[in-house]
Amino acid sequence: MAESVYKIIDLVGSSPDSWEDAARKAVETAGKSLRDLRIAEITKLDMKIEGGKVAAFRARVKLSFKYVTE
62: in domain: yes
Cβ atoms of residues 57 and 47 within 8 Å: yes
- Round to whole Å and give the CA distance between 21 and 31: 15
Quick check: is 55 in a domain? yes
Q: Does residue 16 lie within any of the structural domains?
A: yes
All residues at 6 or more sequence positions from 24 whose CB lies less than 8 Å from its CB, including other chains: 13
Count of C-beta atoms within a 10 Å radius of residue 70 = 2
User: What is the per-residue pLDDT for 69?
Assistant: 65
Please check whether residue 1 lies inside any domain of the structure: no
The pTM of this model reads 0.85
How far from each other are the two terminal CA atoms of the chain, in whole angstroms?
18
What CATH number corresponds to the domain at position 14?
3.30.1660.10
As averages over each run of 10 residues, the pLDDT of the chain (70 residues) reads 84 98 97 93 98 98 86
| Structural domain count of the chain | 1
